[in-house]
Chain A
Amino acid sequence: VADLRHLCQGRLVRRRLLALAAALLVTVPGGLAATPATAAAPDCGQVRKAAPVDEVKAVKPHADGKYTPIILVHGFISNPGMWAKKTDYTARSLDKPQVNRSILGNLQALPGAAVYTVDYSATANRWFTEPGGGGEAFLTVSDCVARDPAHAGHPAVVVGHSMGGLIARWALADAPGAGQRRKATGLVVTVGTPYEGSWLSALGNGVGGHARDLLFLAEGACAETRFSATGPCRWLGDAREFLRTTQAFVPGSRELRNLSKWPSGVRVETLTSSAVVSGVAGLFWLNRGSVELGDIVVGRDSATSGDHPQKIAECRYTADGMRAGANTLLENVGMRLDSNTDIPVWLGLLGSCFHIHEANLLEHTSEILGAVAEELRRYDPAPLPTPAELRDQRACRAECRITGHVAFAHPTWGQVNLITTLAAGDDDREANIVVTDSSRTVRWHHFGGAWYELSAAKPAPDRAGNYFLDYNPGRYNGVIVLRPKAGGFDDFTTLPPEDDYMAMFYYAEHRDVNGDGTLEIEKFANDCDPSCAEGTITSQVHRWTGRGYQP
């Protein structure tokens, strides 16, 4: 938890001093003057992987020797240290889990992962788009890791807590270079991000009732502990002060309205916590049911805004029979009352489901780890099935042999192999085109016919993203073009009907006519006059138009 004492004490004096210091630095050549967000080339010298924690040993890269960058972005009034705290909270149990790992350590231990943390702790008490704020810090890290050859071909995963999630969205939607950055980002996971603002910041602006009262009581209970100035008690007070002065997090604020929604094509998952208090609020014997407080700072609707996969960890509190539980909970959050009598349940609101504990909550950390691990596996090449496995799945009707394969990431099936097969025996004729996924399961199959040759061509894919297969049914070479799409492939009528060989590009050759990396197809025609052996052959070059092939 970052130290925000400056907000309360000596604020004016320090502001002046900081302004003086900033002026000094600006006047020094090469000083630390803030660079605008539009800076073309970020200084990548300071961007390094997060130092290993939890005794993590060096992890293996992906099969191609590269790593996937995992970028962790903290929230307001915080710092990268939040990711290194032990995962020692759980929403479903008051028992303290016996774990010795942090979310940072767990991520660092994943094969293929290179973890980076964005540090804007010095300006974490400002709206992130301000000069020198969290936005700039994120752009520097994300753009530098995207340029690093060690990550080539492996889009980044971003995990943002609180305002960190807003920063990630801004970087991919609104900031200069957002389009390019989107291409370099595979997945974003946000935790407790105030997409629609923080209702805590709206207290006093119309939001009130039981939620306001419970927070007031929680603050009061904090004041009764000897830890009133530390931990979650301290942070709650600082957050109230920060949100009051910032105003940007008031729902519907100008700052929030100026931010775009998540752009289409960006895969996002939202996580949040929600504390539900029941059997507590009301008017003496009249109970008013449940009061839901989100993670105390951000409501669940705000944190899960948008049509994305979401997970909510719920903490339920009730006054009845909570005393022993509350004692344990207080130990969990590092607080114990000086007097051990009549512990108020609302102090538990600053426990497991509290905003600042979200990166230490088992439910969230396991969700993040799962999502990241799955993302990392997307870039591990799928294992090649054996011919026997293909036959077991009826992708080969008889014994077959694999004549070639290309591994790539399919938009629906993830990592796949595009495999070509021919009959194993010299006398048999059976060609198959098969796609298998990472579990070696057949996802797509085409029976080619009694062909003599069938193999995948190189480069695969070409610059346009198309895959080429050469086939020969006996006389000439034919070309099949496959372009991956959701649920299958576009074939542009180049795929012959089963047990046939006539198609768009029979007969033809593929080649890169103009050397731009996109293959052209030269289609031949024989007038077979007076015979096919003596006929006149003409040809026509078909070029990729973006939608298909045209002469």
Chain B
Amino acid sequence: MRLALAALAVLLLAGGGLWWFLQRDRDPQPSTPVAGPSSAPDQQARQDAVTLISGLPAAFAAGDTAKLSTGLRAEGLDLTKALPAGTTVEPDENSWRRSGDLASMDAVATAPGEPARSFSIVMILEDGTWRISGTYARAGS
């Protein structure tokens, strides 16, 4: 009987210890991959994104689809309608976010005679190059 009680006590202690170990670091941590402090390659990618977005009006005006992802290119879009002539696109470098081969940056596009519109621009890394995957109108824009 004593032996059984002792065994039970050992088991309870072991179980309690295990429970404590499993619970002790249950502080909230986001599992969503979020870009941490910028590393040199990340800084370069961010700069590449700024260049890519800023250069879209000129590229679209020239009918250059090289800056679009494979998926978007396949849709055969009329780029001159995507960005009317004279439109400027101003990226917000601080809004940069990257997770693996996907990244996003906000930008404000202003077409002549129209109010400015705000977009989130998603980019995908294809063959080592960032390309536009899609643009998404932000609320109220």
- Give the B-binding residues of A (Cβ under 8 A): 3-10, 14, 17, 21, 24, 28, 208-210, 212-214, 216-217, 219-220, 222-223, 228-230, 233-234, 236-238, 240-241, 279-286, 288, 319, 321-323, 326, 342-346
B25, B33, B111, B124: the one contacting A9 at CB < 8 Å is B25
> Could you give, for residues 8-21 of chain B, a 1 whenever the CB lies within 8 Å of some chain A CB and a 0 otherwise?
00010011001001
Contact assessment for B135 and A216 in the assembled complex, using a CB-CB cutoff below 8 Å = no
- Residue numbers in B under 8 Å from A216 (CB-CB): 99, 102, 104, 122
A237→B30 contact, CB < 8 A: yes
Pick the contact of B139: A210, A284, A344 (CB < 8 A).
A344
Tell whether, in the assembled complex, residue A285 and residue B111 are in contact, meaning their CB atoms are under 8 Å apart. Answer: yes
A342:B32 contact, CB within 8 angstroms: no
Chain B CB within 10 A, most for which of A237, A238, A319: A319
B40 at the interface (CB under 8 A from A): no
Instruction: Judge whether B122 and A217 touch: CB under 8 Å.
Output: yes
Q: Which of B62-115 contact A (CB under 8 A)?
A: 68, 71-72, 77-79, 81-84, 87, 89, 97, 99, 102, 104, 109, 111
B residues less than 8 Å from A233 (CB atoms): 30, 32
Q: Which 9 pairs across A and B sit closest by C-beta, in order of nearness?
A: A229-B28, A237-B31, A237-B32, A213-B122, A319-B137, A323-B140, A286-B82, A283-B82, A223-B34
Give the residues in chain B near A4, CB-CB below 8 Å: 31
Contacting pair B77 A283 (CB below 8 A): yes
In whole angstroms, how far apart are the Cα atoms of A7 and B15 in the complex? 21
* Residues of A contacting B89 in the complex (Cβ-Cβ under 8 angstroms): 284
B29 in the interface, Cβ–Cβ < 8 Å?
A: yes
Complexed CA–CA distance, A209 and B132 (Å): 11
* Contact between chains at B136 and A9 (CB < 8 Å): no
In the complex, the answer to whether B18 meets A213 with C-beta atoms within 8 Å is: no
Q: Which residue of B lies closest to A239 (CB)?
A: B31
Which of B28, B122, B133, B137 sits near A279, CB closer than 8 Å?
B137
Q: How far is the CB of A235 from chain B (nearest CB, A)?
A: 10
B54 lies within 8 A of chain A by Cβ: no
Taking the closest CB of chain B, its distance from the CB of A278, in whole angstroms, is 10
Query: In the complex, what residues of B have CB within 8 A of residue A285's CB?
Result: 81-84, 111
**Contacts A5-B29, A285-B111, A346-B136 known; 15 new A-B pairs at CB < 8 A:** A17-B21, A21-B15, A208-B124, A209-B133, A213-B122, A217-B122, A219-B32, A234-B28, A237-B31, A283-B82, A284-B89, A284-B117, A285-B83, A342-B140, A345-B139
In the complex, what residues of A have CB within 8 A of residue B11's CB?
Answer: 24, 28
Residues of A within 8 A of B111 (CB): 285
B26: interface (CB < 8 Å): yes
Nearest CB in chain B to that of A236: its residue: B32
Q: Which of A3, A7, A21, A222 contacts B32 (CB 8 A)?
A: A222
Q: Which one, B22, B29, B137, B139, contacts A8 given CB within 8 A?
A: B29
Complex Cα–Cα for A335 and B139 (A): 17
Partner of B30, one of A7, A229, A326: A229
Pick from B26, B84, B133: contact of A213, CB under 8 Å: B133
Please tell me if the beta carbons of A212 and B26 are within 8 angstroms of each other in the complex: no
Q: How far is the CA of A345 from the CA of B132 in the complex (A)?
A: 20
Whether A228 pairs with B102 at a CB distance below 8 angstroms is: no
Evaluate contact between A21 and B18: CB separation under 8 angstroms: yes
Given A208-B71, A286-B82, A219 and B99 contact (CB-CB distance below 8 Å): yes
Minimal Cβ-Cβ distance residue in A for B141: A319
| Complex contact B30–A223 (CB within 8 A) | yes
Nearest B-chain residue to A286, judged by Cβ: B82
Which residue of chain A lies nearest to B56 when distances are taken between CB atoms in the complex?
A284
Say yes or no: B135 contacts A8, CB within 8 Å: no
Q: Among B22, B25, B68, point to the contact of A17 (Cβ < 8 A).
A: B22
